[in-house]
Structure 1
């Protein structure tokens, strides 16, 4: 489990329950995907904003996590602000991508966007701040670095 994806697969039950799929390309470079399903709806055919917010928190946080994980750290959400630009509908395929905006010793800020995969329409945009802390606080061992 010496990877962010390994950690995700072992512990992240919320994202699994919401059908979020994570791909990690490298530090600060991830993608989340989901398809709006019946269980994501708030009214007939319309995706609930909480699903977009949950996906956004995942995109922002995992982007931050990939930047600090190899140093033996985890992150926790301090705050995030989300703008909703377009509604989502049953069957929409969403893709979320993040970027590192700032990284200090104890805080990291990321930004992210979620798009409709088929049309490229921007669904939402967000900015988040995360606390950086050692993974030993959660009983995990620092990952082994490989060449």
Structure 2
């Protein structure tokens, strides 16, 4: 069962995801979906999104999939390794869907894979990542709630 407290703390404190305007849906334990509509603020050229935006979407997707497992033990995760393959350009007005799924979970290391498609179901990126699980109180000991 997913620990809702850890997930809610993550959602409330994830300023980067809010900045990118990513929308999260937990599909199952160990499997999540993030969506992101590409806007002008995401562009590196007049038409193409910055690779860092796609990498941010992927890192969030992989990380929350890992968190949905680690949170059961009152743990959060941090990225240890991230590998991204950009397969097609991401352009203005693309509607991206990233699906992340935990492949292997140990006591402290969690390996996750993800794919990103656009509104035409074209695969635009594939990724994998390794995450370190550690006690949630270390991450949230200084958290003061939403910042305005």
TM-score by length of 1: 0.89
Q: Which residue of structure 1 aligns with residue 39 of structure 2?
A: 37
Q: Which residue of structure 2 aligns with residue 126 of structure 1?
A: 127
**Which has a greater percent of strand?**
1
Deviation at 1:138, TM superposition (A): 2.5
Looking at structure 2, the residues matched to 101 and 7 of structure 1 have their Cα atoms a distance apart, in angstroms, of 24
Q: Evaluate the alpha carbon distance shift between residue 8 and residue 138 of structure 1 in structure 2; reply closer, same or farther with a 3 A threshold.
A: closer
Deviation at 1:26, TM superposition (A): 2.7
Deviation at 1:3, TM superposition (A): 4.9
> Alignment partner for residue 69 of structure 1, among 63, 68, 71?
71
Structure 2 residue ranges without an equivalent (≥5): 142-148
Q: Which residue of structure 2 aligns with residue 105 of structure 1?
A: 107
Looking at structure 1, the residues matched to 93 and 55 of structure 2 have their Cα atoms a distance apart, in angstroms, of 18
Deviation at 1:14, TM superposition (A): 0.3
Q: Which residue of structure 1 aligns with residue 21 of structure 2?
A: 19
Q: Which residue of structure 2 aligns with residue 94 of structure 1?
A: 96
Q: Which residue of structure 2 aligns with residue 80 of structure 1?
A: 82
Aligned positions, number: 138
Structure 1 residue ranges without an equivalent (≥5): 141-147
